[in-house]
């Protein structure tokens, strides 16, 4: 059996299992290629990504369905190519709800960034947040016809996609709402701290301190 078929079979088998919602990931992250990982997960040299947002909010990543992490809220990550592995895309999206997912974050690059759109169509009515990995991917990701909805963020901003996904979940989970409020409060305090330091040290000294 090929690795592709084994992965498809694993997804369909997981969909048939009877698991409680506490044992299944709430959020799925899919990307068209592992070259999209720095955008979708975040990198040390670039802007933060969805992985960074979710772990900062207390989520843990599921890497083994039979040995899930202890955290109450979790996510999973896969590479799924709409063009190279359409069967895997179908299996992932069609089984998403049965496998316990509540929302999917889907990112793809290039001019034919079809993974978010196709995932949204196949996983409907599960909400999908699309991430254009590159600027040129934006028209493809947001260009869904009436009646085929997708939520989308700006190019490269998978961090915001993750925040949006957690916002959706927070309507049913007060704990997540509290985490989001705390995160936003910390952002505000950070801006206030920078503002005070800039004002009190002056522009030249502030610039020097940042170097």
User: Is 84 annotated as contributing to ligand binding?
Assistant: yes
For the record, the structure tokens of 172 come out as 């049913």
β pairing state of 74-79 and 151-152: unpaired
User: For 2-62, where are the E strands, in sequence order?
Assistant: 27-31, 60-61
Compute the radius of gyration of the chain from its Cα atoms: 19
| Residues 6 or more apart whose Cβ sits within 8 Å of residue 169 | 26, 27, 73, 102, 103, 176
User: Is 36 annotated as contributing to ligand binding?
Assistant: yes
Backbone angles phi, psi at 80, to 5 degrees: -140, 115
For the record, the structure tokens of 41 come out as 């997960």
What is the rounded CA–CA span in Å between residue 81 and residue 87?
A: 9
With vertex at residue 211, the alpha carbon angle to CA 41 and CA 54, rounded to the nearest 5 degrees, is 20
Residue appearing with tokens 């028209």: 139
With vertex at residue 181, the alpha carbon angle to CA 158 and CA 133, rounded to the nearest 5 degrees, is 5
For the record, the structure tokens of 20 come out as 């409680």
125 cis-preceded (ω within 30 degrees of 0): yes
User: Is 17 annotated as contributing to ligand binding?
Assistant: no
Residue ranges for the binding site? 33, 36, 84
Binding residues for substrate: 33, 36, 84
């Amino acid at each position: 059996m090929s690795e592709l078929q084994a992965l498809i079979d694993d997804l369909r088998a997981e969909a048939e299992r009877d698991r409680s919602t506490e044992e299944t990931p709430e959020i799925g992250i899919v990307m068209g290629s592992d070259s999209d990982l720095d955008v979708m997960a975040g990198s040390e040299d670039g802007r933060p990504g969805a992985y960074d947002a979710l772990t900062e909010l207390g989520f843990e990543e599921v890497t083994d369905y039979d040995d899930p992490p202890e955290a109450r809220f979790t996510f999973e990550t896969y590479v799924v190519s709409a063009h190279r592995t359409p069967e895997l895309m179908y299996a992932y999206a069609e089984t998403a709800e049965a496998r316990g997912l509540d929302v999917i974050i889907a990112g793809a690059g290039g001019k034919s960034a079809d993974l978010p759109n196709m995932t949204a169509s196949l996983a409907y009515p599960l909400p999908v947040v699309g991430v254009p990995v590159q600027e040129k991917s934006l028209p493809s990701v947001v260009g869904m016809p009436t009646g085929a909805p997708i939520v989308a963020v700006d190019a490269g901003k998978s961090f915001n996609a993750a925040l949006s996904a957690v916002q959706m979940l927070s309507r049913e989970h007060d704990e997540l709402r509290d985490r989001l409020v705390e995160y936003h409060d910390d952002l505000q305090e950070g801006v206030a701290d920078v503002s005070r330091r800039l004002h009190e040290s002056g522009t030249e000294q502030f610039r020097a301190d940042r170097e």
